Amino acid sequence: QVFLQESGPGLVKPSGTVSLTCSVSGDSIRGSSYYWGWIRQSPGKGLEWIGSAFHDGTSFYNPSLDSRSTVSADTSKNQFFLRLYLATAADTAVYYCARQGYYYDGSGKKRGWFDTWGQGALVTVSS
Amino acid sequence: DIEMIQSPSSLSASVGDRVIITCRASQSIGNWLAWYQQKPGKAPKLLIYKASSLENGVPSRFSGSGSGTEFTLTISGLRPDDIGTYSCQQYQDSGLTFGGGTKVEI
């Protein structure tokens, strides 16, 4: 069974960086065909995809957050990471890490649904 | 970005009722759609992918249908444990997007 666990500071100052780690057990990021992603949920709001990464270093981002976010992985530690720069109060949210399934269409391998989620980590951006 | 609109935003039903939730995409997404259930204070749980494929371990009272721009999630025989918020997600476009959610109460 696959488990994901988020960790990181719960309080970030405005203009600071949201830095989160997702530790994976039960699956190997290096050997996996899955993508690994981050999704957030602001208080009382819907889900918002932030970005996803593959073990080969490639990454993909929500265009609205592309310029401020980085998703990367450390296969030796079986962890992946989120860095969200220049944080504002609008970035206050519960942040989830998740394993992302894939499928093939005419243009090749594509990212799909999220089949396993971490429990979530609340990050508050406030001075 | 492809916008996903869910309706209704909330509903109240009785135990045993058939519940139908709709998700509409702003452009065609084929059948590249997933549904999630989220209980209060918990992470979302995958119910259905590829519009109608049931995830392992999900009860058969949950079913999905649709293609193109209109999709439905049906709960056949609502149970007390089914309360929560249900969200759709499209993955046809590289900019993955979710619907706003439908809160189901009993």
pLDDT digits (tens, 9 = 90+) for A76-102: 999 999 999 999 999 999 999 999 998
B69 touches chain A (CB under 8 A): no
Task: Give the gap in angstroms from C-alpha A98 to the nearest C-alpha of chain B.
Answer: 10
Q: Which residue has the higher pLDDT, B94 or B18?
A: B18
Q: Which two tokens stand for residue B63?
A: 């079913």
Q: Which residues of A52-77 are buried (b: 16+ CB within 10 A; e: fewer)?
A: bbbbeeebbbbeebeebbbbebeeee
Choose the weakest-confidence range: A5-9, A20-24, A106-110, B49-53.
A106-110
Q: CA–CA separation, A4 vs A100, rounded Å?
A: 12
pLDDT above 90 for A107: no
The pLDDT > 90 percentage for chain A reads 79
Q: Which residue has the higher pLDDT, B98 or A103?
A: B98
Map residue B56 onto helix, strand or coil: coil
pLDDT band at A31 (very low <50, low <70, confident <90, very high): confident
Residues 6+ apart with CB under 8 A from B103: B9, B10, B11, B84, B85
pLDDT above 90 for A106: no
Q: Residue B70: how many CA atoms within 13 Å on its side-chain side? A: 2
Asked if B34 lies within 8 A of A111 by C-beta distance, the reply is no
Closest CA to A62 of B91, B28, B23: B91
pLDDT of residue B93: 82
Q: Which two tokens stand for residue B29?
A: 């997404």
Asked if B43 lies within 8 A of A118 by C-beta distance, the reply is yes
pLDDT tens digits along B26-53: 999 999 999 999 999 999 999 999 999 9
pLDDT above 90 for A42: yes
Task: Give the gap in angstroms from C-alpha A9 to the nearest C-alpha of chain B.
Answer: 19
The pLDDT > 70 percentage for chain B reads 100
Residues 6+ apart with CB under 8 A from A107: none
Mean pLDDT for all residues in chain A: 94
